[in-house]
């Protein structure tokens, strides 16, 4: 069984990919189970060495990885190249993190006994990742899982299997047979993987799909990252570069980032100035030059539905500069929607496109309440030159990640995770290792009873 792959830049078919079903899922999970004893028995140093080899393989074929990413997502070359470099860095980071992590207290905690804590792998981890960052989202999940001694089976999004199939070939060569496998396919493939004999599921996707995954996984461990709808509170004393920075962050990856700024909230005294500056900044972001298309026809239709349903009083759009043959691609211009009612769908839903809304409030406290008024709670930002106030507001924003005078600034050392309908669990940082390991307390009587 095959599925047709589409180039989002042109809207035209670009090839096919296999669709995995019960036999392929069962075979991959069985192979991962068989590989688990050997992989988990390696010392952290030995696993680190192999993960370092995988990072080197990604770097050696960086151009091919970037080409794979671009064919499935339409990203500009600069974005794809930068994300491939981040993937190599992630594998190296977790190779080291697994060797240096701390453990709870150990020693003679009970008279006549010695105790210590072992961190053990969960087992076989099923990973389901979306189409917005095919390779990088997989690395966020796979790197800590592998470093923790687990084996992994990954189901990429139906539209973007390319870079992960390449990663699987490199992983087989340097990690060993069955340690990291990729199952291309559709939603049914993902459900089959979740319902298979995996010991844990790590899922990145929509809240609706996340609830389905949690129900199918039952009592097994589940890590969920389920999207966002990030507010950006822009105060009257915001730095002069604020609107340009927000426009760049909102259009990176065509706005198809769970942590991208989406809802700009500002005070009445600063409202018209922010609207004007954001309009200018977003109009300066050119689709086809500065950012790519939406990923697929369904996402384009969803975006168009939300924009059409919006009751915005004003709209500012940027230009399109597409190449010959790209007229039928899923391109959408940068857009700012202004003068919206609080319940407007462009505010309450995660738009997932190159769009910013602007809301007006009377006070800083109202801005905070408006920022925290949606069920998603993944990321947020505050823009002010009063750092004391900025840090205070960041601490009161209900989000797993809060920035002051910046947005989308991330690194392997810092954790990323959601609250509310944005899910639970941790990506990035040494804390992510806890997602994929479980502690075992060992106590030995050494004294006489």
SS3 state of residue 437: strand
Q: What is the rounded CA–CA span in Å between residue 215 and residue 224?
A: 12
Let me know if 78 is exposed, middle or buried by CB neighbors in 10 A (0-12, 13-18, 19+). exposed
Alpha carbon distances (Å) from 415 to 224, 325, 418: 14, 41, 10
User: The tokens 């919006």 sit on which residue?
Assistant: 310
Contact 258, 378 (CB under 8 A): yes
Residue 56: CB atoms within 10 A of its CB come to 15
Cβ distance 344 to 328 under 8 Å?
no
Q: State the number of CA atoms in the 13 A half-sphere of 191 facing the CB.
A: 8
Spatial CA neighbour of 187 closest among 162, 155, 164, 215: 155
**Relative orientation angle of helices 134-147 and 62-73, to the nearest 10 degrees:** 130
- Which of 225, 248, 326, 359 is flagged as catalytic? 225
Strands of the 379-383 sheet, one edge to the other: 314-317, 335-338, 355-361, 261-267, 230-234, 379-383, 401-404
Where in 285-432 does DSSP place strands (E)?
314-317, 335-338, 355-361, 376-377, 379-383, 401-404, 419-420, 423-424
Rounded Cα distance between 91 and 170, Å, is 13
Q: Distance (Å, rounded) from C-alpha 34 to C-alpha 299?
A: 38
8 A C-beta contact, residue 236 and residue 330: no
Contact 266, 302 (CB under 8 A): no
For the record, the structure tokens of 181 come out as 């496998």
Q: Catalytic one among 258, 350, 359, 401? A: 258
Active site residue 258: yes
Contact (Cβ atoms closer than 8 angstroms) between residue 357 and residue 337: yes
Q: Are strands 113-121 and 124-128 parallel, antiparallel or unpaired?
A: unpaired
CB atoms within 10 A of CB 107: 9
225 catalytic residue (yes or no): yes
**Three-state DSSP class for 223?**
strand
* Cα→Cα distances 35→11, 29, 31, Å: 40, 10, 6
> Catalytic positions, please?
225, 258
């Amino acid at each position: 069984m095959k599925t047709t792959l589409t180039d989002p830049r042109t809207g035209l078919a670009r090839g096919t990919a296999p669709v995995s079903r019960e036999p392929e899922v069962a075979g991959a999970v069985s192979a991962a189970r068989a590989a688990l004893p050997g992989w988990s028995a390696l010392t952290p140093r030995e696993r680190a060495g192999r993960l370092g080899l995988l990072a080197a393989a990604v770097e050696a074929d960086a151009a091919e990885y970037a080409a794979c990413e671009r064919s499935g997502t339409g990203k500009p070359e600069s974005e794809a190249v930068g994300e491939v470099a981040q993937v190599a860095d992630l594998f190296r980071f977790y190779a080291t993190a697994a060797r240096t992590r701390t453990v709870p207290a150990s020693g003679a905690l009970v008279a006549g006994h010695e105790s210590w804590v072992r961190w053990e792998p969960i087992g076989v981890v099923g990973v389901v990742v979306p189409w917005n960052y095919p390779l990088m989202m997989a690395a966020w999940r796979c790197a800590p899982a592998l470093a923790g001694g687990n084996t992994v089976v990954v189901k990429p999004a139906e539209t973007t299997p390319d870079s992960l199939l390449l990663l699987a070939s490199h992983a087989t060569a340097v990690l060993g047979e069955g340690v990291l496998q990729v199952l291309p396919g559709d939603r049914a493939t993902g459900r089959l993987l979740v319902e298979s004999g995996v010991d844990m599921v790590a899922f990145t996707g929509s809240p609706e799909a996340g609830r389905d995954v949690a129900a199918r996984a039952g009592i097994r461990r589940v890590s969920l990252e389920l999207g966002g709808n990030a507010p950006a509170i822009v105060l009257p004393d915001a730095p002069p570069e604020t609107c340009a920075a927000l426009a760049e962050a909102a259009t990176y990856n065509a706005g198809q980032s769970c942590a991208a700024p989406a809802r700009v909230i500002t005070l009445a005294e600063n409202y018209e100035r922010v609207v004007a500056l954001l309009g200018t900044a977003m109009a300066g972001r050119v689709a086809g030059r500065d950012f790519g298309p939406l990923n697929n026809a369904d996402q384009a239709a969803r975006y168009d539905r939300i924009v059409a349903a919006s009751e915005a009083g004003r709209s500012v759009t940027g230009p399109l500069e597409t190449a010959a043959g790209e007229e039928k691609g899923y391109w959408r211009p940068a857009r700012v929607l202004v003068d919206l009612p609080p319940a407007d769908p462009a505010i309450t839903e995660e738009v997932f496109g190159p769009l910013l809304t602007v809301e007006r409030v009377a006070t800083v406290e109202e801005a905070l309440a408006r920022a925290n008024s949606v069920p998603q709670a993944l990321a947020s930002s505050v823009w002010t030159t009063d750092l004391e106030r900025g840090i205070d507001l960041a601490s009161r924003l209900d989000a797993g990640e809060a920035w002051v005078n910046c947005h989308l600034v991330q690194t392997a050392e810092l954790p990323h995770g959601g609250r509310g309908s944005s899910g639970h669990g941790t990506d990035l940082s040494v804390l992510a290792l806890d997602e994929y390991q479980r502690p075992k307390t060992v106590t030995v009587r050494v004294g006489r009873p």
